[in-house]
Every structure is written in structure tokens, then in C-alpha cells.
Structure 1
């Protein structure tokens, strides 16, 4: 990736593209290498503890563990129309978007406003940290058959 200029949008776009492919694949066809290529080796993902896949996931192995949990629950995850807000000189960005989930078990489509705080390494073109914020955790859990 030497000589290539990365932007937060290009890094996230590559991640979102790889995530869509991974989530929609049957279990025996899932290939994590596309997602892994977009992540720093010590990436940190922090999910709200109020979801069935909540917790802190570190490194590619942790991120793959989370991705596997998500793919068991959803057969479509698609972040639509991301608006990226950044401050010059900062490696942290805020992404406002709409997320579309399709529940694997029922086929139910869920569409919610979605926000993420993401840290990136612009030199390497990788995500170093990600923290998503969900619009309606209760409804998401209900659609998945979980209640808290």
C-alpha cells in the first residue's frame, strides 16, 4: 500500500464491502481475509454489553470472533450512505449512517440510524478501533429473540 493515499472513507468503504460479503456467505464459505486486510493487527472493537454479541474484541482473532457471532444472527449487514465527520490532524472520525440488518432466522429486515466512532491509521489504510452506537437496542434484541 506504499505510495497510496488513504482517506477515512476509502478505509471504511473497503471494510464495509468486505463485511457485506462475509455476512452474506454461508458458514462453510465465509472468508475473513477481506475484513482482516482492513484491520490493524491490534484493532479494538467495543460493542454495547446489551446485545448478544456485546463485549470488547481485540486483534484480528477477536474481530473474527465477533464477525462470526454477527453472521450467525444476520445474513445481511449493510451500512448505507455513511457521512464521515473528521477533524484535521485527528485519526478519529464519526460516521453517521443507516444500517440495514436482515435477521438470519426470520428474514426480518431492520433499518435503523447508526453511528460509529472509528480510529484509523491513514498511513497503513487500516482501522485501529471501532465503537458502534445502535439506535434501538431493545428492538434489535427483540427481533433476534433475546430480551434483557
Structure 2
């Protein structure tokens, strides 16, 4: 397993366990994550606090969230990886059951994420409704 694959496994494991201290150790203070602004949790989030804010927004809008990794690739210089994830969930505001694919691009330096970008395929077709979050 490469260093980036190990990083990804560590981050996913820490998020799944809600291990805030481990997550904090994997996210650079200058971290920035970009989500399409058409999503109810879209926008740009900064730093460790921004990562936690994003996670709160995501789980506030999507319930019973499950993911399955479909593809993983990394660049030769060992700083970026990209993956495609199958995401299934229920939209909290509407009850709509969804299945979509998410493409993510992560940049990791010195064992910490410095940037991430995510795209939800077919997001415009999802009935997001109005959320109380």
C-alpha cells in the first residue's frame, strides 16, 4: 500500500470512528475543500474547523449515508490521489433515496491534506428540499 493509500485509509477510518484527534492530525491548518455551490452543503471550507463544518453539513443533509470506493488512482509524485465513490443516502429534507457517484481529488503533503475538491454526479436531479440545518 502506498503512503497516499495509507493516508486515505487512516482518514476514512478516523471519520468513521468520529476520532476528532486523529482527523485533526491528518488535516493541515491551511486545508481548503471545495464543493459545488449548487449543493446545499456546497461552498469552500477552510482549515480543520472547515473540515468539521463540512462533515456536519453533509451529515445534516444526508442520512443513512453509505459509501463504496469504486476507483482509486494517484499521481507519480505522491501528492495527489483521486477516487470515485458510490454514495447512497436519504435526503433529510425530502426523504428521497439517492444513489450517485462522487469524484474527489485530494492533495496531501507531509502526511496532511492541504486541498480537496469533490463533484457529485447528477446532483441537479436530486430533490434537496429545504433543510433545517
- Aligned partners of 1:20 and 1:77 also within 8 Å: no
CA distance in 2, matches of 1:32, 1:74: 20
SS at match of 1:57: strand
CA distance in 2, matches of 1:34, 1:104: 28
Structure 1 position 64, deviation (Å) = 1.5
Which residue of structure 2 lines up, in the alignment, with residue 115 of structure 1? 103
RMSD of aligned Cα (Å): 2.4
- Aligned partners of 2:63 and 2:92 also within 8 Å: yes
Unaligned runs of 5+ in 1: 23-30
Q: How does 1:64-79 map to 2 (within 5 A)?
A: 64-79=52-67
- Aligned partners of 1:74 and 1:103 also within 8 Å: yes
Which residue of structure 1 lines up, in the alignment, with residue 118 of structure 2? 132
Moved over 4 A (4+): 105-108
Which residue of structure 1 lines up, in the alignment, with residue 29 of structure 2? 41
- Tell me the number of residue pairs that the alignment of Structure 1 and Structure 2 aligns: 130
CA distance in 2, matches of 1:67, 1:81: 18
CA distance in 1, matches of 2:95, 2:13: 21
TM-score of the aligned structures, taking structure 2 as reference length: 0.79
CA distance in 2, matches of 1:65, 1:51: 15
CA distance in 1, matches of 2:30, 2:21: 15
TM-score of the aligned structures, taking structure 1 as reference length: 0.72
Whose strand fraction is larger, Structure 1's or Structure 2's?
2
CA distance in 1, matches of 2:74, 2:80: 7
More displaced 10-residue stretch of structure 1: 110-119 or 8-17: 8-17
